[in-house]
Structures are given as structure tokens and as C-alpha cells.
Structure 1
Amino acid sequence: MAETEPFSVEKFVAGLSRKRMASGVLFRDDTGRVLLVEPSYKQQWEIPGGAVDENESPWATVSRELTEELGMRRPVGRLLVVDYIHADGDWPEAVMFVFDGGVLTQSDVDAMVFADGEILSAGFYDLPAARERLIPRLAGRVEAALEAVKLGTTVLCEHGRPIT
């Protein structure tokens, strides 16, 4: 009778796949335009947020990033979008989250402090103007988040496209 190797939690965990995660927050103004931020380190614009650190929840990431990048402290709203991103070249697969940040005014934007140098500017943009500044899958995610706000739901996406 062949001996079986005893179960090893270490080996089991080492064999599990690892996914990167990132979280963003959707802020709007009273006309429905979305807040975009201009990063200093790449051409494409973003919504506020960033990569989830080890042992950090996606919602804690949003709070941390708002403080670090914009000098803001605001409560994180409900989950609007979960977007699964396929592996692409050197980039591993990922899960992206978008939370509701609610409505901001222009004075809120004017009071932002870009302390860590990652963000150059921030402003409100309607969806067509936002699409020009965002990579396509993030533009799709933002559009899905706006729909989730309108419908009071959470939208599941793959690569920025809602699944049906």
C-alpha cells in the first residue's frame, strides 16, 4: 500500500493563485460628471484609488489613497463595481473594486492637497470627456459604476464590460 504524504497547509497555500487587487472611488458633482485625477507617472487619467497592499482590505485602500493622494478623509460608500481583469502580457490577472464616494463640489476639489506628488490635478468630466482620458476598460468600469449608482445595485464586469 502506497503511503500518502500528510496534508500540508503550507504546500496547499503555496499552490493557490495570487491576484492583484486595486480599489477606486467614484465621485460625482451635482450634474453627474465624474472626478478624474491626473497622475504624474503615466499619461492616462484615473479615478482616485490605487493598489491594495498586503493585508489591506479594498475599502481601506480607498481611504488610505484618498488621504495620501488628495488630502481627503471621507467615508467609503457602497460597492458599485467588481471588475475581473484577465492577465495581459506582464500584468497578472486582477480584481478591481469601485466604491461610491458620493457628490463633491468644486470647492471640495479646490481644497484637495496633492501632497505625495502622484497627482498633478483633479477635475470633473462628463462621460465622453472621461472616455478620452481613461483607458477603455476603466472607462467601461466608470460607466458601469454610474449605472450602479442610478439603479442602486452592484455591477459585475469582466475587463470593463458588464456581464449579463
Structure 2
Amino acid sequence: MIVWLNGTFGAGKTTAARELLELLPGSVLYDPELIGSGLRLMLPEKRLGEVSDYQELPAWRRLVVDTAAALLAEVGGGPLVVPMTLLRQEYRDEIFGGLAARRIAVRHVLLHAEETVLRERIDQRADVPGDAEASAGIRAWCLDHLPAYHEALPWLTGDAHVVDTAGLAPRTTAERIAEAIREGAGSCDIVQTPEPTSETLAAGVLLFDEDDRVLLVDPTYKPGWEFPGGVVEPGEAPARAGMREVAEELGLRLPVVPRLLVVDWEPPLPPGYGGLRLLFDGGRLPAADAERLLLPGAELRGWRFATEDEAASMLPPVRHTRLRWALRARERATVLNLEAGVPVGG
């Protein structure tokens, strides 16, 4: 199990984590900031210059998950206490979804305090010995991140168990966290999608509104928007798999088997294994059907219809390229064969 202590700078995550180690038998401190420090030493300056925070690095997010799994195996199951600010919901989804895929339970706890308290704590944080300029820079950096914290509060408070640390000593904060954990608070209801161990076959279904905008869904367990669909199970027909996934994800039963638009071979790109990705045309949804769409909270956070241009800013590049060719195939009433997003053959 992982106890993830979230919150902005000044919330008391680090001090509470140290106290919590004494209250949770067998617990181990796991600080993902060390992974960020390591990447800063290993990655080329050019790559580091492309991001403003190491959390923006896909390698950091994946290593956080992989290292957690390795640590739990090493120490016999944990729990791991993780004091780490995580304010972008898509990063939370990616990391917690990766942990869920490894059957690692997460308890998400938000340490919260009002801004006046946070500012006071940031102002009083210990100086870097002999370096007043660095001390001032750290404080300014912490203060600059307060707006991002307030922007993230709506989803944080809806996702995590909240402990208000204003006026609490670190030990008292830790005791309240431990009590909440024992009562099962902060448990993350997120889908457990096993990581593939070989090439996979996946089927997606494109559904359209009456203005020909395409339906996209926002998974809780991975970054970026996606098409309704999923991995084809052994012995299952791909089109039927797409229909099953639409029914499971959206509560919508398609009346006819959808027509194939695109076959795209996705090459293996470590750590992924690649495989075949199929997109089918599920047709237009009447407005009344769209209004009745259901979302499983553990798997999908939201849905929306988007134009092709709007989808470009929502989908990861690989998926957007696939969508672009699927729309062209739909316009031409044909099927396109792609390799890594590029049409091949006649």
C-alpha cells in the first residue's frame, strides 16, 4: 500500500511523513523528488530546458511507479509513505493508474491549510546554510506555486481525504492521517488495467453527434483523452470488443456492428509493446442518446464531442494522427491501412 501525502509547499507533508513512519508498522519513506534529482543529472541539458518542472517528464512519472513497485517488493509490502505535491490531475491519473495496474493500493491524503497559514510557513522555512540568495529563491518559488494549488483544490478535495493542518503539530497531523488510513479513508477508486506484457490488439469506436463532432472520453487511469474502446480479449471479434467497451464505458448499446475505418500498426516503443489499433465507425448519436450517456467513475472522468481541430489539443499526437486518417477514411467510405500512423499500400 502507498500513503500519498499531497498538498502544496508549506502544508507539512515532509514533517508529517516522518512522524507517520512511527505510527504505521513497517512503513518506509519514499520521496519521488529523488527521482527528479537523478533525472536532472542524467538527462541532456537540451531536454531539461524543454520543461519547467521534472514532473512534466514522462520518464519521471513512469519511474515513480516502477520505483514504488520495486521498493514494495524489496521491503516486503510496505506501506510506503510518499510526501509529494501532485497538482495536475492528469499526472495523478497516470501515476495512480500505473500503481493500480500493479495491484498497488493507494490512499490519497491532502494536507491542507489556508493561504495565510501557508504563506507564513513558507516565510519561516529554514534557510539554506550560508546562501541567503538561494533561500530567498526557494521561498519565492514556493509562493509562485500557490495559485496552481488553489486551481487544483476542486479535484483534490473530491479525490483525497482532507486533513486541515492549520494549528496542528506534525505528530497530531500524523495521528489523524494514521487514524484515517485505518478507517479506509482516501482509498482511490480507480480502474485496474494490467500493464501489457506483449503486443496487444485494441478496438476503438468513433461516435458522432449531429454536427459530426467526434466523441472523446477522459480516462482516469492514463493521461490524455481517448476514444471509447479497449483491448480485445482472447477469442473476441474486434468489432464486438468495441461494442462491448462502448456499452461498459458509456451505457450505450450499438444496434449494428460498426464499420472498420483504420488499421494502424503501432510499433513497439519501450516500455510499450505496440500492436494493432483498430478504429470503427459507430455512426451518429441522436441528441437524446447522448444525454443518457453514463460514465463509470472508476474508469472515465468525463466525455465531450470535439471537432477535428479541437481534438488536436486533447488527444496525444499518436491518437490524433489515427483519428485524422479515420475521418478521411469515413469521408471516402474506405478502409485505410497504417503503419505507425502512415498510410501504406494502394
Same fold (TM over 0.5): yes
Aligned to 2:293: 112
Q: 1: CA distance between counterparts of 2:248 and 2:210?
A: 25
Instruction: Give the partner amino acid of 2:272.
Output: W
Shift in Å at residue 109 of structure 1? Answer: 2.2
TM-score (norm 1): 0.83
Aligned to 1:68: 248
Instruction: Give the partner amino acid of 1:148.
Output: A
Q: Would you say 1:83 and 2:264 are equivalent positions?
A: yes
Shift in Å at residue 124 of structure 1? Answer: 0.6
Give the match's secondary structure for 1:133: coil
Aligned to 2:323: 142
Which deviates further from its counterpart, 111-120 or 129-138?
111-120
Q: Would you say 1:28 and 2:208 are equivalent positions?
A: yes
Shift in Å at residue 116 of structure 1? Answer: 5.9
Instruction: Give the partner amino acid of 1:115.
Output: P
- 1:29–1:105: 8 Å Cα contact kept in structure 2? yes
Structure 1: which 4+ aligned runs deviate by more than 6 Å? Answer: none
Give the match's secondary structure for 2:313: helix
Instruction: Give the partner amino acid of 1:87.
Output: P
Q: 1: CA distance between counterparts of 2:216 and 2:227?
A: 5
Instruction: Give the partner amino acid of 1:48.
Output: P
Give the match's secondary structure for 1:141: helix
Shift in Å at residue 71 of structure 1? Answer: 0.7
Q: 1: CA distance between counterparts of 2:343 and 2:281?
A: 17
Aligned to 1:7: none
- 1:33–1:127: 8 Å Cα contact kept in structure 2? yes
Instruction: Give the partner amino acid of 2:236.
Output: E
Aligned to 1:133: 314
Structure of higher RCO (CA pairs closer than 8 Å, 6+ residues apart): 1
Q: 1: CA distance between counterparts of 2:341 and 2:290?
A: 26
What are the Cα deviations for residues 86-145 of structure 1, in whole angstroms up to 9, with x where unaligned? 000021130011111001134322211113621111111011110111111111111111
Structure 2: tracts of 5 or more residues without a match: 1-197
Q: 2: CA distance between counterparts of 1:101 and 1:31?
A: 15
Shift in Å at residue 42 of structure 1? Answer: 1.8
Aligned to 2:332: 151
- 1:76–1:100: 8 Å Cα contact kept in structure 2? no
Bigger proportion of residues as helix = 2
Q: Which has the greater radius of gyration?
A: 2
Give the match's secondary structure for 2:211: coil
Q: How many residues are matched?
A: 147
Q: 2: CA distance between counterparts of 1:61 and 1:116?
A: 21
| Root mean square deviation of aligned Cα | 1.5
Q: 1: CA distance between counterparts of 2:288 and 2:313?
A: 25
- 2:210–2:287: 8 Å Cα contact kept in structure 1? no
- 2:205–2:242: 8 Å Cα contact kept in structure 1? yes
% of aligned pairs identical?
A: 37
What are the Cα deviations for residues 54-102 of structure 1, in whole angstroms up to 9, with x where unaligned? 2212112111101111111002321100000000002113001111100
